[in-house]
Structures are given as C-alpha cells and as structure tokens.
Structure 1
Amino acid sequence: MSDIRVQHTKSNLITALLSCLEDKSVHGLKVKDIIDKAGVSTRTFYQYYSDVNDLLRDTEDSFIAEYLKNVEKDRDSLGDLDLDVPFEDQLETILNATKNTIEFCYAHKKEIQLLLSDNGDTRFYNMIFHTGCEKIMKRMSQMKHIDELKMDEKDQMRMMISVQVFVHSIIGMVRVLLEYSDRLVPYDVRQSILTFLRESPIASMNINKK
C-alpha cells in the first residue's frame, strides 16, 4: 500500500476517533465505534492499530510532534530576549515567540478541545504540560546573559515552580480563548496572552543578574 493511502487511512481513523469523542468517553470506546464512524472494515483497523488505546496514542503523539515543529519555529525569536531590559520591555519578544504555536492551535482547535475534554485523555494534558515546561526551560537557557544569572538551589526551585504554574495557566487560558476563536483572530489571542504575562508567576520571579 502506498504511503499516501496509508496516511489517508490513518487520518480517517483519527478523524473517526475525534468524532466519537464528541459523544462518548475515550475509556468507553470500542473498536466497533471507530470502524463504524470511519466506514472501514475491522481488518483495516487492525492493520494499523492493536486497539483504541493504540490509535489514541498515535493521535496524541502525532499532535505533539506537529506542535513541537511550530514551537521550534518560534524559538529563534526568543533568542533576542535581553535580560538587561525591564520585564515589560521583554514582553513583545516573548509575544512574538508564540505566533506559530498559536496559529497551530487555531488550526487544530477541535482536536485540542476534544482531547482535553471530559471525554478525552489525561495523558494528552500531561504531555502538553511536560512538553511546555521542557521547552520553556530550554528557551530560558538560550536567552542572552542567562549564564550571568547567579541562582542558588532555592532560586532554581522557585524558577521551576513558576514555570510549572505558568504552563498550567497558559494551557487553561488557551482552552478558554479557543472557545472564542470564531470571534478572535490569532493576534487577539497573543494580545490576551500579553496581558496575562504581565501578571504571570514568571513576571514576579525577581531573579536578576548579581
């Protein structure tokens, strides 16, 4: 079978899974639910996946892989962040470092909402959370003058706590903003994030060069 047909079939099964999540919890889904919605045979399903959980993992892993590609596109702009200037002056750079990621979330609104819904999977939330924390810490390690920050163990702990609180908050905020995506363009979302950043735990960390 050609790669195009394989991808088409897998995409069809993923779409069927998401459609099923509109009415039924992932934990109650059966293979029959998927194949009925996708209009494929049982044999076709098992050609690609061993069970519903296998399909779910592929759906989530594929999303995270594409999500990370957009995060990487944004990462370069954060390299211009200068810790010498006040936090308020850094916000525009931080805001620009979300452009591709926010647009990706808009394009995958339905997928995000369903996987994060009560019918979805807690693993998906945890994957986004841990990925977000890792990427923020990686970005921070690449900022200008970061090596000049003198942080003791307590400072490092406070930074990690702030990052974790921040990521949880951002996930919740994006979920809310996506509910209004028919009235808000991605730029509006970034402006809302800008407002949030002014009051975020990251803003109050107060870790300065010593």
Structure 2
Amino acid sequence: MSDIRVQNTKNNLITALLSCLEDKSVHELKVKDIIDKAGVSTRTFYQYYSDVNDLLRDIEDSFMAEYLKNVEKDRDSLGDLDLDVPFEDQLETILNATKNTIEFCYAHKKEIQLLLSDNGDTRFYNMIFHTGCEKIMKRMSQMKHIDELKMDEKDQMRMMISVQVFVYSIIGMVRVLLEYSDRLAPYDVRQSILTFLRESPIASMNINKK
C-alpha cells in the first residue's frame, strides 16, 4: 500500500474517532464504533493500531508535536520582552508572540474542542497543562532584567502557583474563544486576550520589580 493510501486510511480513522467523541466518552469507545464510522474493516484498523487508546495516543502525540513547533516559533520572539517598558507595551509584545500558536489552535478548533470536552481524554488535558507551565516558566527565565527582580523562595513559589493557575485559565479561555470564534472578529479576540493577560504572571513580576 502506498504511503498516501496509508496516511489517508489513518486520517480516516482519526476523523472517525474524533467524530465518535461527539456522542461518546473516549472511555466508552470500542473499535467497532470507530470502524463503523470510518467504513473500514476490523482487519484494516488492527493493521495500524492495537486498540482505541493506541489510535488516541497517535492523535494526541501528533497534535502536541505540531503544537510545540508553533509554540517554539512564538517563544523565539519573546526574548525581547523587557520589564523596563510600560506594562501595556509588555502585553502587546506577549500577544504578538502568540500569533502562530493562536492560528494553530484555530486551525485545529474541532480537534481541540473534542479532546478537551467531557468526552475527551484527561491525558491530553494534562499534556497541554504541563507543557504550558513548562514553556511559560522557560520564557520568563529568559526575559530581560529577570535577574534584577528581588524574589525570595516564597516569591518564587507564589510565581509557580500563579503560572499554574494562569495556564489552567488559558485552557478555559481557549475553549471559550474557540466556541465563539465564528461570531468574534479578530479585534474582539485580540482584546479578549489582552484583558486576560492583564492578570498574567507578568503582572506579578512587574509588582515584584523594584
């Protein structure tokens, strides 16, 4: 079988699983549900995947690989974030440095909505959450003048908690924005994100700045 046919078959199975999540929890899904939706045989399914979880892992791992590529593109542009400039200017820099990630999320809107839904997979949520925390902490450590902040151990702990709460909120915000994306103009989305960023860990860093 050609590579194109193999990929088309896999894409068909991926689409079928995601479609099944509209009606069933991932924990309730059976191989039969997926092959019936995909219109393929049981033999075809097992030619590529050992079970439902194997297919689910393929979907999630492929998503995360592409997601991280876009996050890294944005991360490079955050190296110029300067805590000495006005806070609103900092927010503009941060917002502009999320362009690729936001576009990626919108391009994969349905996939994200289903995987983060009540029918979705906790593992996927945890992957997004822990990756988000890790990337934000890494970005913050590379900011200009970060060493000038006078933060003791308790301050650092508060910052870590702030980042985790922030990432948790980001996931919720993304779900809401994707839900209303068809009715929101780009300007409205931008303003919503800016409002949200005003409560970000960057705000705490500005408070701690001496």
TM score, norm. by length of structure 1: 0.93
Corresponding residue of 2:69: 69
Shift in Å at residue 52 of structure 1? 0.4
Q: For each residue in 1:149-193, what CA deviation from the matched residue of structure 2 results, as whole angstroms up to 9, or x when unmatched?
A: 343211211111010010011110111111111112445323211
Q: Does the aligned pair in 1 maintain the 2:78–2:143 contact within 8 Å?
A: yes
Q: Does the aligned pair in 2 maintain the 1:29–1:52 contact within 8 Å?
A: yes
Give aligned-pair identity as a percent.
97
Shift in Å at residue 5 of structure 1? 2.3
Shift in Å at residue 16 of structure 1? 0.4
Determine the C-alpha separation between the residues in 1 that align with 2:169 and 2:140: 18
Shift in Å at residue 10 of structure 1? 1.3
Shift in Å at residue 209 of structure 1? 4.7
Q: Does the aligned pair in 1 maintain the 2:149–2:205 contact within 8 Å?
A: no
Q: Does the aligned pair in 2 maintain the 1:35–1:42 contact within 8 Å?
A: yes
Q: Does the aligned pair in 1 maintain the 2:83–2:206 contact within 8 Å?
A: no
Q: Does the aligned pair in 2 maintain the 1:98–1:190 contact within 8 Å?
A: no
Aligned residues: 210
Kindly tell me: are residues 29 and 45 of structure 1, through their superposed partners in 2, closer, same or farther at Cα, counting changes over 3 Å? Answer: same
Where does structure 1 lack aligned partners over 5 or more consecutive residues?
A: none
Shift in Å at residue 124 of structure 1? 1.1
TM score, norm. by length of structure 2: 0.93
Determine the C-alpha separation between the residues in 1 that align with 2:52 and 2:141: 39
Q: For each residue in 1:20-48, what CA deviation from the matched residue of structure 2 results, as whole angstroms up to 9, or x when unmatched?
A: 01111111110011111111111111111
174-183 or 144-153, which deviates more = 144-153
Deviating beyond 6 angstroms after TM superposition, the runs of 4 or more aligned structure 1 residues are none
Q: Does the aligned pair in 2 maintain the 1:158–1:205 contact within 8 Å?
A: no
Determine the C-alpha separation between the residues in 2 that align with 1:143 and 1:176: 29
Structure number with higher helix proportion: 2
